[in-house]
Amino acid sequence: AGGDTSKEFAPKAAEAGCLVIDNSSAYRMDADVPLIVPEVNADAVSGVTRANGGRNIIANPNCSTAQLVVALKPLHEAFGVRRV
Residue 65 located in a structural domain: yes
Residues 29-67 pLDDT 10s: 999 999 999 999 999 888 888 888 889 999 999 999 999
Number of domains in the chain: 1
* 1 pLDDT more than 90: no
What pTM did the predictor assign? 0.83
Give a three-class secondary structure readout of 22-62: ECCCCCCCCCCCCECCHHHHHHHHHHCCHHHCCCCEEECCC
Q: Which domain holds residue 32?
A: 3-79
Residue 84 located in a structural domain: no
Residue 55 located in a structural domain: yes
Single out the residue of 56, 68, 71 nearest to residue 13, CA to CA: 56
CATH number for the domain spanning 70: value is: 3.40.50.720
